[in-house]
Amino acid sequence: MKIDYESGILMHVTSLPCRYGVGEFGQPVLDWLDQMVEMGQRIWQVLPMGPTGYGDSPYQSPSCFAGNPMLIGIGRLVEAKWLGDVEVASLLGLPSDTVSYEHLIPIKSALLQTAAQRFLRYGKDTPAYQRFERFCQQEAAWLEDYAVFAAVKERETLRPWFEWPDTWRNYSADCVARARTLLPDVIEEKKVIQFFFREQWVEMRKEAARRGILILGDIPIFVAHDSVEVWSDRLLFQLNAKGDPTVVAGVPPDYFSATGQRWGNPLYDWPMHERQGFAWWERRLARALDLYDWVRVDHFRGFVDYWEIPASEPSAVRGQWRPSPGRALFEAMRRRFGDRLNIVAEDLGVLSQDVIALREAFGFPGMRILQFAFGTDPGAYTFLPEAYVRNTVAYTGTHDNDTVVSWFHDKGGQSMRTPEQCEKERQYCLSHLGIPGREIHWEMIEVLLRSKAGALIFPVQDILGLGSEGRMNVPGTTAANWRWRLRPGQLTPELKARLRQATLAAGRNQTSGAKPSG
Protein backbone atom coordinates (compact mmCIF):
# COMPACT_ATOMS: atom_id res chain seq x y z
CA MET A 1 0.00 0.00 0.00
CA LYS A 2 1.43 3.36 -1.04
CA ILE A 3 0.66 6.56 0.83
CA ASP A 4 2.10 9.63 -0.83
CA TYR A 5 2.00 12.67 1.50
CA GLU A 6 -1.73 12.98 1.34
CA SER A 7 -4.32 14.37 3.71
CA GLY A 8 -8.04 14.09 4.17
CA ILE A 9 -11.07 14.39 6.41
CA LEU A 10 -12.90 12.04 8.73
CA MET A 11 -16.67 12.42 8.58
CA HIS A 12 -19.22 9.66 8.38
CA VAL A 13 -21.92 9.68 5.71
CA THR A 14 -24.60 10.11 8.38
CA SER A 15 -23.07 13.48 9.34
CA LEU A 16 -23.57 15.07 5.92
CA PRO A 17 -26.12 17.88 5.54
CA CYS A 18 -29.32 16.51 4.02
CA ARG A 19 -32.98 17.50 4.11
CA TYR A 20 -34.09 13.93 4.91
CA GLY A 21 -32.90 13.61 8.50
CA VAL A 22 -29.55 11.90 7.95
CA GLY A 23 -26.62 12.14 5.57
CA GLU A 24 -27.18 9.82 2.62
CA PHE A 25 -25.95 8.81 -0.83
CA GLY A 26 -26.79 11.00 -3.76
CA GLN A 27 -26.57 14.78 -3.81
CA PRO A 28 -25.34 15.10 -0.19
CA VAL A 29 -22.31 12.94 -1.02
CA LEU A 30 -21.69 14.71 -4.33
CA ASP A 31 -21.79 18.10 -2.59
CA TRP A 32 -19.34 16.82 0.02
CA LEU A 33 -16.95 15.47 -2.61
CA ASP A 34 -16.96 18.88 -4.28
CA GLN A 35 -16.14 20.49 -0.94
CA MET A 36 -13.30 18.01 -0.48
CA VAL A 37 -11.88 19.23 -3.78
CA GLU A 38 -12.32 22.86 -2.69
CA MET A 39 -10.36 22.10 0.48
CA GLY A 40 -7.59 20.36 -1.43
CA GLN A 41 -8.13 17.04 0.35
CA ARG A 42 -7.67 13.58 -1.20
CA ILE A 43 -8.85 11.08 1.45
CA TRP A 44 -12.38 10.78 2.78
CA GLN A 45 -12.55 8.51 5.82
CA VAL A 46 -15.93 7.06 6.77
CA LEU A 47 -17.07 4.79 9.59
CA PRO A 48 -18.36 1.24 9.02
CA MET A 49 -21.29 1.33 6.59
CA GLY A 50 -23.17 -1.76 7.73
CA PRO A 51 -26.61 -1.64 9.38
CA THR A 52 -26.30 -0.18 12.87
CA GLY A 53 -27.10 -2.18 15.97
CA TYR A 54 -27.15 -1.65 19.73
CA GLY A 55 -26.82 2.03 20.65
CA ASP A 56 -26.99 2.95 16.94
CA SER A 57 -23.32 2.00 16.74
CA PRO A 58 -21.80 1.22 13.33
CA TYR A 59 -19.40 -1.05 15.24
CA GLN A 60 -22.24 -3.32 16.44
CA SER A 61 -23.80 -4.32 13.15
CA PRO A 62 -26.18 -7.23 12.49
CA SER A 63 -24.18 -7.99 9.33
CA CYS A 64 -20.56 -7.78 8.20
CA PHE A 65 -21.61 -7.72 4.55
CA ALA A 66 -24.88 -5.79 4.26
CA GLY A 67 -25.11 -2.03 3.78
CA ASN A 68 -26.90 0.34 6.13
CA PRO A 69 -30.34 1.11 4.64
CA MET A 70 -30.34 4.50 6.38
CA LEU A 71 -27.55 5.62 4.00
CA ILE A 72 -29.61 4.95 0.88
CA GLY A 73 -30.44 8.19 -0.91
CA ILE A 74 -34.16 8.93 -0.65
CA GLY A 75 -33.60 11.67 -3.20
CA ARG A 76 -32.28 9.10 -5.68
CA LEU A 77 -35.35 6.90 -5.16
CA VAL A 78 -37.62 9.88 -5.83
CA GLU A 79 -35.69 10.59 -9.04
CA ALA A 80 -36.16 6.95 -10.07
CA LYS A 81 -39.94 7.25 -9.41
CA TRP A 82 -39.95 4.51 -6.76
CA LEU A 83 -41.10 7.13 -4.24
CA GLY A 84 -43.07 10.36 -4.53
CA ASP A 85 -42.37 13.80 -3.13
CA VAL A 86 -45.48 13.73 -0.96
CA GLU A 87 -44.51 10.40 0.58
CA VAL A 88 -41.00 11.49 1.61
CA ALA A 89 -42.27 14.73 3.16
CA SER A 90 -42.51 12.86 6.47
CA LEU A 91 -38.71 13.03 6.67
CA LEU A 92 -38.55 16.78 6.24
CA GLY A 93 -39.52 17.54 9.83
CA LEU A 94 -36.53 15.68 11.31
CA PRO A 95 -33.69 17.70 12.89
CA SER A 96 -30.99 19.07 10.59
CA ASP A 97 -28.19 19.19 13.16
CA THR A 98 -28.45 15.69 14.64
CA VAL A 99 -29.55 12.19 13.64
CA SER A 100 -32.73 11.33 15.54
CA TYR A 101 -32.51 7.58 15.03
CA GLU A 102 -35.63 6.85 17.07
CA HIS A 103 -37.68 8.88 14.60
CA LEU A 104 -35.64 8.34 11.44
CA ILE A 105 -35.47 4.54 11.38
CA PRO A 106 -39.22 3.73 11.40
CA ILE A 107 -40.05 6.45 8.85
CA LYS A 108 -37.23 5.69 6.41
CA SER A 109 -37.59 1.91 6.78
CA ALA A 110 -41.25 2.16 5.74
CA LEU A 111 -40.33 4.31 2.74
CA LEU A 112 -37.61 1.87 1.65
CA GLN A 113 -40.06 -1.01 1.95
CA THR A 114 -42.53 0.86 -0.27
CA ALA A 115 -39.83 1.59 -2.85
CA ALA A 116 -38.72 -2.05 -2.84
CA GLN A 117 -42.28 -3.29 -3.31
CA ARG A 118 -42.78 -1.00 -6.30
CA PHE A 119 -39.47 -2.06 -7.80
CA LEU A 120 -40.48 -5.73 -7.55
CA ARG A 121 -43.96 -5.05 -8.92
CA TYR A 122 -43.25 -2.59 -11.72
CA GLY A 123 -39.53 -2.79 -12.45
CA LYS A 124 -39.22 -6.24 -14.00
CA ASP A 125 -38.87 -5.01 -17.57
CA THR A 126 -36.15 -2.47 -16.74
CA PRO A 127 -32.33 -2.72 -17.04
CA ALA A 128 -32.21 -2.07 -13.28
CA TYR A 129 -34.09 -5.30 -12.64
CA GLN A 130 -31.60 -7.23 -14.74
CA ARG A 131 -28.80 -5.71 -12.63
CA PHE A 132 -30.74 -6.71 -9.52
CA GLU A 133 -30.88 -10.33 -10.67
CA ARG A 134 -27.13 -10.33 -11.33
CA PHE A 135 -26.55 -8.75 -7.93
CA CYS A 136 -28.53 -11.52 -6.23
CA GLN A 137 -26.50 -14.18 -8.03
CA GLN A 138 -23.12 -12.58 -7.39
CA GLU A 139 -23.77 -11.80 -3.71
CA ALA A 140 -25.74 -14.95 -2.85
CA ALA A 141 -23.06 -16.16 -0.40
CA TRP A 142 -24.10 -13.50 2.13
CA LEU A 143 -27.29 -11.98 0.70
CA GLU A 144 -29.53 -15.03 1.05
CA ASP A 145 -28.87 -15.57 4.75
CA TYR A 146 -28.93 -11.85 5.48
CA ALA A 147 -32.33 -11.37 3.84
CA VAL A 148 -33.77 -14.32 5.76
CA PHE A 149 -32.25 -13.07 9.02
CA ALA A 150 -33.56 -9.53 8.51
CA ALA A 151 -37.03 -10.78 7.57
CA VAL A 152 -37.32 -13.08 10.59
CA LYS A 153 -35.95 -10.36 12.86
CA GLU A 154 -38.71 -8.06 11.64
CA ARG A 155 -41.29 -10.78 12.27
CA GLU A 156 -39.91 -11.23 15.79
CA THR A 157 -40.31 -7.49 16.56
CA LEU A 158 -36.55 -6.87 16.21
CA ARG A 159 -35.63 -9.10 19.15
CA PRO A 160 -32.08 -10.52 19.01
CA TRP A 161 -31.88 -13.95 17.41
CA PHE A 162 -30.90 -15.64 20.67
CA GLU A 163 -34.36 -14.69 22.03
CA TRP A 164 -36.25 -16.15 19.07
CA PRO A 165 -38.30 -19.35 19.33
CA ASP A 166 -36.26 -22.48 18.62
CA THR A 167 -37.83 -22.81 15.16
CA TRP A 168 -35.95 -19.65 14.15
CA ARG A 169 -33.16 -19.54 16.70
CA ASN A 170 -31.45 -22.69 15.45
CA TYR A 171 -30.18 -22.00 11.94
CA SER A 172 -30.56 -24.87 9.47
CA ALA A 173 -31.59 -25.53 5.89
CA ASP A 174 -35.10 -26.32 7.16
CA CYS A 175 -35.21 -23.02 9.06
CA VAL A 176 -34.24 -21.07 5.94
CA ALA A 177 -36.75 -22.99 3.81
CA ARG A 178 -39.50 -22.25 6.34
CA ALA A 179 -38.69 -18.54 6.22
CA ARG A 180 -38.78 -18.53 2.42
CA THR A 181 -42.20 -20.17 2.53
CA LEU A 182 -43.70 -17.87 5.18
CA LEU A 183 -41.93 -14.58 4.35
CA PRO A 184 -41.10 -14.64 0.61
CA ASP A 185 -42.11 -11.05 -0.12
CA VAL A 186 -40.25 -9.56 2.85
CA ILE A 187 -37.10 -11.53 1.97
CA GLU A 188 -37.17 -10.20 -1.59
CA GLU A 189 -37.71 -6.66 -0.32
CA LYS A 190 -34.61 -6.97 1.88
CA LYS A 191 -32.60 -7.99 -1.16
CA VAL A 192 -33.89 -5.04 -3.18
CA ILE A 193 -32.94 -2.62 -0.41
CA GLN A 194 -29.41 -4.02 -0.44
CA PHE A 195 -29.39 -3.62 -4.22
CA PHE A 196 -30.36 0.04 -3.82
CA PHE A 197 -27.44 0.48 -1.41
CA ARG A 198 -24.97 -1.18 -3.78
CA GLU A 199 -26.12 0.71 -6.89
CA GLN A 200 -25.96 4.08 -5.19
CA TRP A 201 -22.62 3.50 -3.48
CA VAL A 202 -21.02 2.32 -6.73
CA GLU A 203 -22.10 5.61 -8.28
CA MET A 204 -20.63 7.55 -5.33
CA ARG A 205 -17.33 5.64 -5.60
CA LYS A 206 -17.08 6.50 -9.28
CA GLU A 207 -17.74 10.18 -8.56
CA ALA A 208 -15.07 10.18 -5.85
CA ALA A 209 -12.55 8.58 -8.20
CA ARG A 210 -13.41 11.10 -10.91
CA ARG A 211 -12.45 13.84 -8.45
CA GLY A 212 -9.27 12.07 -7.39
CA ILE A 213 -10.59 11.25 -3.91
CA LEU A 214 -9.79 7.97 -2.12
CA ILE A 215 -12.31 6.40 0.26
CA LEU A 216 -10.85 5.08 3.52
CA GLY A 217 -13.37 2.69 5.03
CA ASP A 218 -13.48 0.94 8.37
CA ILE A 219 -14.25 -2.57 9.58
CA PRO A 220 -14.46 -3.70 13.20
CA ILE A 221 -12.31 -6.69 14.05
CA PHE A 222 -15.18 -8.38 15.92
CA VAL A 223 -18.83 -8.93 15.02
CA ALA A 224 -21.98 -8.46 17.06
CA HIS A 225 -23.57 -11.39 18.86
CA ASP A 226 -26.91 -10.38 17.35
CA SER A 227 -25.68 -10.78 13.79
CA VAL A 228 -26.46 -13.03 10.88
CA GLU A 229 -22.87 -14.29 10.90
CA VAL A 230 -23.08 -15.62 14.47
CA TRP A 231 -26.61 -16.94 13.94
CA SER A 232 -25.75 -18.83 10.76
CA ASP A 233 -22.17 -20.01 11.45
CA ARG A 234 -21.75 -20.64 15.17
CA LEU A 235 -18.73 -22.90 14.73
CA LEU A 236 -16.60 -19.85 13.95
CA PHE A 237 -17.22 -18.36 17.42
CA GLN A 238 -16.71 -19.38 21.04
CA LEU A 239 -20.31 -20.14 22.02
CA ASN A 240 -22.08 -22.66 24.22
CA ALA A 241 -24.72 -25.10 23.00
CA LYS A 242 -27.44 -22.42 23.28
CA GLY A 243 -25.48 -19.99 21.12
CA ASP A 244 -24.45 -17.69 23.98
CA PRO A 245 -20.84 -16.49 24.20
CA THR A 246 -18.65 -18.19 26.76
CA VAL A 247 -16.12 -15.35 26.55
CA VAL A 248 -16.45 -11.86 25.10
CA ALA A 249 -14.24 -9.15 23.63
CA GLY A 250 -13.00 -5.91 25.13
CA VAL A 251 -9.85 -4.14 26.27
CA PRO A 252 -8.26 -3.82 29.72
CA PRO A 253 -8.26 -0.57 31.72
CA ASP A 254 -6.66 2.20 29.68
CA TYR A 255 -6.71 5.91 28.81
CA PHE A 256 -10.45 5.82 28.12
CA SER A 257 -11.75 3.82 31.08
CA ALA A 258 -10.51 2.79 34.54
CA THR A 259 -12.42 -0.51 34.27
CA GLY A 260 -11.54 -1.16 30.63
CA GLN A 261 -14.14 -1.67 27.94
CA ARG A 262 -16.37 -4.73 27.89
CA TRP A 263 -17.56 -4.72 24.28
CA GLY A 264 -19.48 -7.98 24.65
CA ASN A 265 -18.79 -9.31 21.14
CA PRO A 266 -18.34 -13.08 20.88
CA LEU A 267 -14.74 -14.10 20.27
CA TYR A 268 -13.56 -16.11 17.29
CA ASP A 269 -12.74 -19.79 17.42
CA TRP A 270 -9.43 -19.14 15.68
CA PRO A 271 -8.46 -22.85 15.26
CA MET A 272 -11.69 -23.36 13.29
CA HIS A 273 -10.91 -20.33 11.09
CA GLU A 274 -7.46 -21.76 10.41
CA ARG A 275 -8.86 -25.19 9.54
CA GLN A 276 -11.15 -23.50 7.00
CA GLY A 277 -8.23 -21.62 5.47
CA PHE A 278 -9.57 -18.28 6.74
CA ALA A 279 -12.28 -18.46 4.06
CA TRP A 280 -14.67 -16.31 6.12
CA TRP A 281 -12.04 -13.59 6.47
CA GLU A 282 -11.32 -13.75 2.77
CA ARG A 283 -14.98 -13.09 2.00
CA ARG A 284 -15.14 -10.30 4.54
CA LEU A 285 -12.06 -8.48 3.26
CA ALA A 286 -13.18 -8.97 -0.35
CA ARG A 287 -16.40 -7.17 0.54
CA ALA A 288 -14.52 -4.32 2.26
CA LEU A 289 -12.04 -3.90 -0.59
CA ASP A 290 -14.98 -3.79 -2.98
CA LEU A 291 -16.51 -0.89 -1.03
CA TYR A 292 -13.39 1.15 -0.28
CA ASP A 293 -9.96 2.07 -1.65
CA TRP A 294 -8.28 1.63 1.74
CA VAL A 295 -9.61 -0.22 4.78
CA ARG A 296 -8.89 0.75 8.38
CA VAL A 297 -9.02 -2.41 10.49
CA ASP A 298 -10.12 -1.54 13.99
CA HIS A 299 -8.24 -3.00 17.00
CA PHE A 300 -5.40 -4.45 14.92
CA ARG A 301 -3.61 -5.73 17.99
CA GLY A 302 -6.38 -8.32 18.28
CA PHE A 303 -4.74 -10.20 15.41
CA VAL A 304 -1.75 -10.87 17.67
CA ASP A 305 -3.55 -11.27 20.98
CA TYR A 306 -6.96 -10.29 22.29
CA TRP A 307 -8.43 -9.53 25.70
CA GLU A 308 -10.66 -12.47 26.66
CA ILE A 309 -13.31 -11.65 29.28
CA PRO A 310 -15.48 -14.39 30.83
CA ALA A 311 -19.04 -13.70 29.69
CA SER A 312 -20.20 -13.69 33.32
CA GLU A 313 -17.97 -10.72 34.21
CA PRO A 314 -19.70 -7.30 34.31
CA SER A 315 -16.55 -5.34 33.37
CA ALA A 316 -13.31 -5.87 31.46
CA VAL A 317 -11.06 -5.92 34.53
CA ARG A 318 -10.91 -9.72 34.97
CA GLY A 319 -9.69 -10.73 31.55
CA GLN A 320 -6.59 -12.27 30.02
CA TRP A 321 -4.59 -11.95 26.82
CA ARG A 322 -4.97 -14.84 24.39
CA PRO A 323 -3.01 -15.41 21.15
CA SER A 324 -4.38 -14.91 17.60
CA PRO A 325 -2.99 -16.35 14.32
CA GLY A 326 -2.53 -12.94 12.68
CA ARG A 327 0.56 -13.81 10.65
CA ALA A 328 -1.03 -16.90 9.12
CA LEU A 329 -4.22 -14.94 8.42
CA PHE A 330 -2.51 -12.08 6.60
CA GLU A 331 -0.21 -14.41 4.68
CA ALA A 332 -3.36 -16.09 3.34
CA MET A 333 -4.91 -12.71 2.57
CA ARG A 334 -1.75 -11.51 0.80
CA ARG A 335 -1.85 -14.59 -1.42
CA ARG A 336 -5.48 -13.85 -2.22
CA PHE A 337 -5.43 -10.07 -2.71
CA GLY A 338 -1.80 -9.21 -3.49
CA ASP A 339 -1.27 -5.47 -3.86
CA ARG A 340 -4.98 -4.83 -3.29
CA LEU A 341 -4.60 -5.57 0.43
CA ASN A 342 -4.72 -1.86 1.31
CA ILE A 343 -5.08 -2.05 5.08
CA VAL A 344 -4.50 0.69 7.64
CA ALA A 345 -3.79 -0.91 11.02
CA GLU A 346 -5.46 0.74 14.01
CA ASP A 347 -2.53 -0.03 16.29
CA LEU A 348 -3.39 2.23 19.22
CA GLY A 349 -3.24 1.37 22.89
CA VAL A 350 -0.59 -0.63 24.74
CA LEU A 351 1.29 -2.60 22.09
CA SER A 352 3.71 -5.47 22.29
CA GLN A 353 6.65 -5.76 19.95
CA ASP A 354 4.80 -8.63 18.27
CA VAL A 355 2.02 -6.26 17.16
CA ILE A 356 4.53 -3.86 15.64
CA ALA A 357 6.34 -6.74 13.96
CA LEU A 358 3.11 -8.06 12.41
CA ARG A 359 2.17 -4.66 11.02
CA GLU A 360 5.65 -4.04 9.63
CA ALA A 361 5.92 -7.53 8.13
CA PHE A 362 3.01 -6.77 5.82
CA GLY A 363 3.79 -3.08 5.31
CA PHE A 364 0.52 -1.87 6.79
CA PRO A 365 0.54 1.81 7.83
CA GLY A 366 -0.05 2.36 11.55
CA MET A 367 -1.96 5.18 13.21
CA ARG A 368 -0.83 8.05 15.43
CA ILE A 369 -3.08 10.45 17.37
CA LEU A 370 -1.50 13.78 18.23
CA GLN A 371 -3.69 14.20 21.32
CA PHE A 372 -2.02 11.12 22.83
CA ALA A 373 1.50 12.60 22.65
CA PHE A 374 1.40 14.62 25.85
CA GLY A 375 0.01 12.27 28.49
CA THR A 376 1.61 10.01 31.08
CA ASP A 377 1.37 6.80 29.07
CA PRO A 378 4.85 5.23 28.66
CA GLY A 379 4.34 5.12 24.89
CA ALA A 380 3.22 8.73 24.57
CA TYR A 381 6.48 9.77 22.91
CA THR A 382 5.62 7.63 19.87
CA PHE A 383 2.73 10.02 19.14
CA LEU A 384 4.99 13.08 18.94
CA PRO A 385 5.26 14.37 15.35
CA GLU A 386 9.03 13.90 15.17
CA ALA A 387 8.55 10.18 15.79
CA TYR A 388 6.33 9.66 12.72
CA VAL A 389 7.62 7.68 9.79
CA ARG A 390 6.25 7.85 6.28
CA ASN A 391 4.21 4.66 6.60
CA THR A 392 1.91 6.31 9.13
CA VAL A 393 -1.60 7.76 9.09
CA ALA A 394 -1.64 10.59 11.64
CA TYR A 395 -4.71 12.23 13.17
CA THR A 396 -5.51 15.16 15.41
CA GLY A 397 -8.15 12.82 16.86
CA THR A 398 -10.61 10.12 15.82
CA HIS A 399 -14.33 9.45 16.22
CA ASP A 400 -13.54 8.04 19.70
CA ASN A 401 -11.68 11.14 20.91
CA ASP A 402 -12.94 14.42 22.19
CA THR A 403 -12.32 17.30 19.81
CA VAL A 404 -8.95 19.04 19.96
CA VAL A 405 -10.51 22.19 21.39
CA SER A 406 -12.37 20.31 24.13
CA TRP A 407 -9.33 18.13 24.95
CA PHE A 408 -7.05 21.16 25.20
CA HIS A 409 -9.38 23.18 27.44
CA ASP A 410 -10.48 20.23 29.60
CA LYS A 411 -10.23 21.06 33.31
CA GLY A 412 -10.55 17.46 34.38
CA GLY A 413 -14.30 16.96 34.19
CA GLN A 414 -14.50 15.53 30.66
CA SER A 415 -12.06 12.61 30.97
CA MET A 416 -10.21 10.40 33.45
CA ARG A 417 -7.53 13.07 33.80
CA THR A 418 -7.22 15.16 36.94
CA PRO A 419 -7.13 18.96 36.66
CA GLU A 420 -3.39 18.79 37.37
CA GLN A 421 -2.83 16.27 34.57
CA CYS A 422 -4.85 18.38 32.15
CA GLU A 423 -2.77 21.45 32.89
CA LYS A 424 0.48 19.52 32.64
CA GLU A 425 -0.50 18.08 29.24
CA ARG A 426 -1.60 21.50 28.04
CA GLN A 427 1.70 23.13 28.96
CA TYR A 428 3.74 20.26 27.50
CA CYS A 429 1.78 20.49 24.25
CA LEU A 430 2.44 24.22 23.93
CA SER A 431 6.12 24.06 24.82
CA HIS A 432 6.99 20.97 22.80
CA LEU A 433 5.17 22.05 19.65
CA GLY A 434 6.20 25.68 20.05
CA ILE A 435 2.68 27.02 19.56
CA PRO A 436 0.75 29.75 21.40
CA GLY A 437 -2.51 27.81 21.78
CA ARG A 438 -4.76 30.65 20.65
CA GLU A 439 -6.21 28.50 17.82
CA ILE A 440 -5.20 25.11 19.11
CA HIS A 441 -7.11 23.15 16.46
CA TRP A 442 -5.47 24.95 13.55
CA GLU A 443 -2.07 24.92 15.22
CA MET A 444 -2.22 21.13 15.65
CA ILE A 445 -3.46 20.67 12.08
CA GLU A 446 -0.53 22.71 10.80
CA VAL A 447 1.93 20.74 12.96
CA LEU A 448 0.70 17.51 11.39
CA LEU A 449 0.83 18.98 7.89
CA ARG A 450 4.55 19.61 8.38
CA SER A 451 5.23 16.12 9.78
CA LYS A 452 6.70 13.23 7.82
CA ALA A 453 3.60 11.04 8.19
CA GLY A 454 2.57 9.75 4.77
CA ALA A 455 -1.14 10.44 5.32
CA LEU A 456 -3.07 12.78 7.60
CA ILE A 457 -6.72 12.70 8.61
CA PHE A 458 -8.53 15.55 10.32
CA PRO A 459 -11.99 15.06 11.84
CA VAL A 460 -14.19 17.74 10.34
CA GLN A 461 -15.05 18.86 13.89
CA ASP A 462 -11.39 19.86 14.39
CA ILE A 463 -11.38 21.89 11.18
CA LEU A 464 -14.45 23.68 12.52
CA GLY A 465 -12.88 24.20 15.96
CA LEU A 466 -15.83 22.64 17.79
CA GLY A 467 -15.90 21.78 21.47
CA SER A 468 -17.38 18.68 23.07
CA GLU A 469 -20.73 19.41 21.38
CA GLY A 470 -19.10 18.05 18.21
CA ARG A 471 -18.01 14.76 19.71
CA MET A 472 -19.12 11.69 17.73
CA ASN A 473 -18.66 8.93 20.33
CA VAL A 474 -17.69 8.42 23.96
CA PRO A 475 -16.27 4.88 24.28
CA GLY A 476 -17.98 2.70 26.87
CA THR A 477 -21.26 4.64 26.67
CA THR A 478 -24.40 4.08 24.60
CA ALA A 479 -26.44 7.28 24.91
CA ALA A 480 -26.40 10.10 22.35
CA ASN A 481 -23.49 8.77 20.29
CA TRP A 482 -23.12 8.74 16.48
CA ARG A 483 -25.61 11.60 16.05
CA TRP A 484 -23.54 14.66 15.17
CA ARG A 485 -24.21 16.33 11.82
CA LEU A 486 -22.61 19.11 9.83
CA ARG A 487 -24.99 22.01 9.30
CA PRO A 488 -25.39 23.55 5.83
CA GLY A 489 -22.89 26.37 5.42
CA GLN A 490 -20.98 25.48 8.60
CA LEU A 491 -17.84 24.92 6.55
CA THR A 492 -17.46 28.50 5.38
CA PRO A 493 -15.53 29.55 2.26
CA GLU A 494 -12.88 31.03 4.57
CA LEU A 495 -12.36 27.73 6.42
CA LYS A 496 -12.17 25.76 3.19
CA ALA A 497 -9.68 28.18 1.68
CA ARG A 498 -7.56 28.12 4.83
CA LEU A 499 -7.30 24.33 4.84
CA ARG A 500 -6.50 24.24 1.14
CA GLN A 501 -3.77 26.86 1.46
CA ALA A 502 -2.21 25.19 4.50
CA THR A 503 -2.27 21.80 2.79
CA LEU A 504 -0.64 23.03 -0.42
CA ALA A 505 1.92 25.11 1.50
CA ALA A 506 3.01 21.92 3.29
CA GLY A 507 3.44 20.05 0.00
CA ARG A 508 0.52 17.70 0.60
CA ASN A 509 -1.85 16.27 -2.01
CA GLN A 510 0.32 17.34 -4.92
CA THR A 511 0.64 15.04 -7.90
CA SER A 512 4.41 15.29 -7.64
CA GLY A 513 4.30 13.68 -4.21
CA ALA A 514 6.45 16.46 -2.84
CA LYS A 515 7.78 15.85 0.65
CA PRO A 516 6.35 18.08 3.39
CA SER A 517 8.56 20.80 4.73
CA GLY A 518 9.84 20.62 8.28
> pLDDT for 407-440, tens place per residue?
999 998 766 789 999 999 999 999 999 999 999 9
pTM over 0.85: yes
| Residues with catalytic function | 298, 346, 400
Would the pLDDT of 515 be above 50? no
Angle at CA of residue 98, ends 97 and 99, nearest 5°: 140
Residue 257 confidence (pLDDT): 74
pLDDT tens, residue by residue, 169-203: 999 999 999 999 999 999 999 999 999 999 999 99
Task: Give the CA count within 13 Å in the CB-facing half-sphere of 66.
Answer: 29
Mean of pLDDT values over 463-489: 93
Q: Which residues are registered as beta bridge partners of 309?
A: 248
Mean pLDDT of 132-140: 98
Q: According to the model, what pLDDT value does residue 471 have?
A: 97
pLDDT digits 0-9 by tens, 446-472: 999 999 999 999 999 999 999 999 999
Check whether 356 has a pLDDT greater than 70. yes
pLDDT of residue 351: 80
Please, where are the H alpha helices in 362-466?
404-409, 419-433, 440-449, 460-464
Question: What is the spatial order of strands in the sheet that 455-459 belongs to?
Answer: 343-345, 294-297, 214-219, 43-45, 6-10, 455-459, 392-395, 366-369
Q: Are strands 320-323 and 305-310 parallel, antiparallel or unpaired?
A: antiparallel
Confidence bin at 378 (pLDDT 50/70/90): confident
Q: For position 256, what pLDDT does the model report?
A: 61
